[in-house]
Amino acid sequence: DPNRVIAWQQQMIAYTKASESRYLRSNATPSKPLQARHPIAVQPFDEIAAGVWRTPSTACSVATPGGCRPDVINGHYTQVLTTKAAPFPATSGDNRLEVGAIRLIREFSNPMKVFGLNEDNITPLGGPKGTRTFKTDIPPTTPDARQFGLPDPVRAEVLEFLLHGGGSFDHFGYSFTEANAQKVRDQLGRIRAYLAGIKIHELIASAAGSTGAGWADVGPYPTNTSWDAGTLSRKHWAAMESRSFQNAGTGRSFMLYIHRSTPRCKGDNDDFNRQTDGLLHCAGVNLAFDAYDGRRRPTARYQETDLILHLGSQPGNFDYFWLDPTNPSAAPLAQGQIDWKPSPEFCRGSSPCKITSPRYPYDALLRIVQR
């Protein structure tokens, strides 16, 4: 019962804060051991809990635990979806788990809280609990179509989560010394260094709409029924923007991340073509705790063609960079300049303002900065 879980967690938050308050250092008590209170994290797995934890704290004490809220909201997996659980004694309602980390931050985010993702499918393990990538688009599907242990799905999770405003990511791998696990850590380290260097915390997550991110017409975020038959994938994305860019004259900047992933199914060799009933082919059923399956297409790469931009109501000059998501600090894959005019929207000799990405095998990262 989510409400009983919430009530218990609120009591734990209240008792933890009360206990630590006895050890907090101050000018009056300089010998106390705690310089600051520890942040408290909570893991919601359903809509009821996610809706409660995103709200601000009110009066929080052992006597009034109902006002207690965590500092950090944590998520597991990109998607969590279970069947309705049998109710516990003396409870009622729908007890299914339904909120994974990506949905949690997209639909329940709060700028006053840190959101984290700290467990997903594991590199370099094979099978249902391992990361896996569909490595070819050449029919027929072969028994070795799945390649396990590659960092691509992990990179997609971390970049999409962080560019939705996430603050913490832990891949939670079991095998520290494996070569593929080392590749994951190397990529995560490069991503962290790049995002810290551009002060990503000064940007805010872009709201999603029917055409994309508001400032970039990348297309709607996919649903469970979305499918691009031409690429046999779903186009997932996340974007960030400088605060109040719509009316700013200077200091505007933007980021956009795109990856092409497939639904994660129990069968290792699914081809994902639509069946005659219109549903996606999936041997068995989707895993309850989903991660991304990377759709890498070495023979027919993806491309963002004529991506329409909306960079605000004031004119300005911008530089744009298409970056390598495996190492964003490396030399750009492509770059150019934008001479933005807002009324009518115009740049690079065209109206509306458009740019095109280089071809990419799985994912792409765009950075736009006003000069």
> Angle at which helices 101-108 and 152-162 pack, to 10 degrees?
20
pLDDT values of the chain reduced to their tens digit, one per residue, 371 residues:
888 899 999 999 999 999 999 999 999 999 999 999 999 999 999 999 999 999 999 999 999 999 999 999 999 999 998 887 766 665 666 778 899 999 999 999 888 899 999 988 889 888 878 888 877 665 555 666 778 888 999 999 999 999 999 999 998 887 888 899 999 999 999 999 999 999 999 999 999 999 999 999 999 999 877 888 777 789 999 999 999 999 999 999 999 999 999 878 777 666 565 556 666 667 656 788 889 988 887 766 899 999 999 999 999 999 999 999 999 999 999 999 999 999 999 999 999 999 999 999 999 999 999 99
Beta strands in 26-81 (DSSP E): 41-42, 72-75, 79-80
Nearest to 157 by CA among 148, 147, 146, 168: 168
Burial of 289 by CB count in 10 Å (0-12 exposed, 13-18 middle, 19+ buried)?
buried
Percent helix, strand, coil in the chain, to 5, is 20, 25, 55
Q: What is the DSSP letter of 342?
A: E
> Do the Cβ atoms of 193 and 329 come closer than 8 Å?
yes
In angstroms, the CA 156 to CA 173 distance is 16
> Do the Cβ atoms of 44 and 97 come closer than 8 Å?
no
Beta partners for 347?
350
N-term to C-term CA, the chain: 53
